Chains A and B, each alone.
Chain A
Amino acid sequence: MQQLLNGLFLGSIYALFAIGFTLVFGILDRLNLAHPAVFAAAAFVGIELVAVGGLSIWVALPLVAVFGAVLGLVIERVAFRPLKGRPDAHFAGLIGSIGLGGMFIALLLWRYGPDTRRFPVDAFPSTTFEVAGARVTLLQVAILVISVLLMLGLTWLVARSRLGRAMRAVAENPRAATVLGLDVDRVTATTFALSSALGAVAGALFAMNVNSAQLGMGSAIELKGLAVIIVGGMGSLPGALVGGLILGLAEVFAVQYLASSWRDVVAFGLLFLLLVVRPQGLFGSKRVREV
């Protein structure tokens, strides 16, 4: 039971990270590899807001989201927009975002030094519940709830709202969208801002959940996030949530029934297996794109 919950909560972090990741990927067909750097930067900024600024976590979290959104705008403007007209725009953006992510990390190093940092001990109430003999913290429940809510909210946003329609139009055919009178650049920038805001919240929550924030925390979770996107189906928001949970559970049960060093073997083995059986991922649809 405890392991089931461990997997569920670990998975909800993966999901939260991947939801932002997959938003840009699914809608704009761009892979933003500066996302892990946003994840780490947000954790450090969140800690600073709470530890130095003395803010409550409930004030700090929205601020962290805003900070993430700003970073998202920067990423779009610096790493993606100047390259968008190129025939190899996808690849160029990918490399551009890796570079920008590296610069963010370097700035963090300059600002905060190489040490691990943490939220103050009492930043979040340390309430623990007992569920069928297993222990659950309030924080873990909060993370799960936040992940599900954000997933639902985003799904609604993409499917129903005006912005969502614009996003889908841009995804379908940017040129046609322009002809229809949509400001493609603006929609793109908004998507990046949303995506990075999610990544930022994920980073701050992750740092709280494990009581540790490191410069490399984003790259540690990056590959898992990509795996989650692929398992869930590229660009599918419910897929990111389910994919995250599956990956979390797979890891935890690998530890339980095999050995701890086997968890990545099992998690990624599962990914490969799934790709063979269902190449489009669990929730993905086969996409045919005309050139």
Chain B
Amino acid sequence: MKTTMKTLALTGTLALVLTACGEGGGDGGAEDGAGELAGSGSGDSCVIEAPVPVGAALSLTGAAASYGESQKKGLELAAEKLKEKEGVTYELTIEDDGTDPRQGITVFEQFAEDKSVILGPTLSNGAFQAQPIAQEAGVPVVAISNTAAGITEQGDYIFRVSLTEAQVIPQTVEVAKEEYGLEKVVVMYSNDDAFTESGYDVFASALEEQGVEVLDTLTFSKADTDFRALLTEAKGAQPDAIVVSGLIEAAIPLVTQARELGIEVPIIGGNGFNNPKLMSDAGEAAEGVVVGAAWNSASEGELNTAFLADFEEKFGSKPDQFAAQAYTGLTVIDAAVRAGCSGEREAIKENLSGVQDLETVLGTLSINADRDSEHPAVVQVIEGGAFTPLN
């Protein structure tokens, strides 16, 4: 017993001393780091001695693993490309959050200690849980795939390069209206899911603004798989198009059954429809489905074609939107770092706000006053089993 107490006391003291040393060392390190992370020159001629530490919390395992994997590739490619540009290098650390918000918090806590900026996490869900930690520690965060409302409202250190539904949907409606001469539509949405319900709200207000008449609004449940009764109802109204806010699980049976019932008009979907599974699993039925996206692989911008080629060369597969957005995330960080020629947290935060008209693979991108990004969306239609730009 006595020995135990003694050991305990000793360990305690030792821990205290160590912590003190750690803190002292940490402080010193931060000061040194400040010296190294603040460079000289500006923009393209900026030179920063030490590599800028960047952390990325991605879902490499768990339900969102396929998205996280894409993002990882996008980031690795971006880091490699940025290394070719002289002056600034990035030390990229990628950690797995296991698609688990609690693990995301742990990863953010680690990053808060020594990273200059954090990318991720993959899902909005996890972002809401983890971001307050970064905000508290004063580390800027760049969200690269979150589309939920309220992400950047969590604090002034939170930025986002992914477009929200509220940004993509009005553009989708506008382009589709122009292309198909839409006058009257039927709207369908699942009213028991927060994401699709907010998608519906945006659709409804966009349709109203554009002067498209809504003949009928039909609701379903996110677990529904038989839509024939609803679709027969929709068909009876003779709309120019059917507008749907639903997840991919509902989208596939819905689209298949619509074509089966002889509904040939375009089906306009929200972000839930923006998934290659729609073509592979609904087959022919997916033809004529219109969906807005933040990025299109067929975009012929110079940066995008280079990105496509580089990606395919490095990984032997084609990138998706997640890879493109992750790639852009690091590009935007690089722009902010070079603008102030500093890899320090405060400077990056300051200069992220100032990113304007930056050329990226997603198009010309600006960060607005809400710390959300603005860039043109791509409205796509499925033709011949592939997404093709409509605008």
Binding site for B on A (CB under 8 A): 2-3, 6-7, 9-10, 114, 116, 118, 121-122, 126, 128, 135, 137, 209-212, 214, 216-217, 220, 251-252, 255-256, 259-261, 263
Contact = CB atoms under 8 A, between A and B. Distances in A.
Nearest to B261: A135
Given A259-B219, A260-B219, A261-B219, A121 B229 contact: no
A6 B232 contact: yes
A209 B253 CA distance: 9
B283 A256 contact: no
A210 B257 contact: yes
Q: Which 3 A-B pairs have the closest CB atoms?
A: A121-B283, A210-B225, A255-B229
B281 interface: yes
Contacts of A210: 225-226, 253, 257
A2 B261 contact: yes
Contacts of A217: 225
B281 to A, nearest CB: 5
Contacts, number: 74
A212 B63 contact: no
Nearest to A118: B281
Nearest to A119: B281
B283 A135 contact: no
Nearest to A136: B260
**Chain B at the A interface: mostly helix, strand, loop or mixed?**
helix
Nearest to A220: B223
Interface string B265-290: 00000000000000001111000000
B230 interface: yes
12 contacts: A3-B229, A6-B229, A6-B232, A114-B63, A116-B249, A121-B284, A210-B253, A211-B257, A211-B282, A214-B223, A216-B223, A255-B233
B262 interface: yes
Contacts of A211: 225, 252-253, 256-257, 281-282
A253 to B, nearest CB: 8
A118 B252 contact: yes
Q: Which of B218, B219, B253, B282 has the most CB of A within 10 A?
A: B253
Nearest to B192: A261
Contacts of A214: 223, 225, 249
A252 B236 CA distance: 14
Interface string B108-151: 00000000000000000000000000000000000000000000
A252 B229 contact: yes
Contact of A10 (B191, B220, B226, B281): B226
B102 interface: no
A7 B261 CA distance: 14
B251 to A, nearest CB: 10
Given A118-B252, A211-B253, 10 more contacts: A116-B248, A116-B249, A121-B283, A135-B260, A137-B260, A217-B225, A252-B228, A256-B233, A260-B218, A260-B220
A241 B160 CA distance: 55
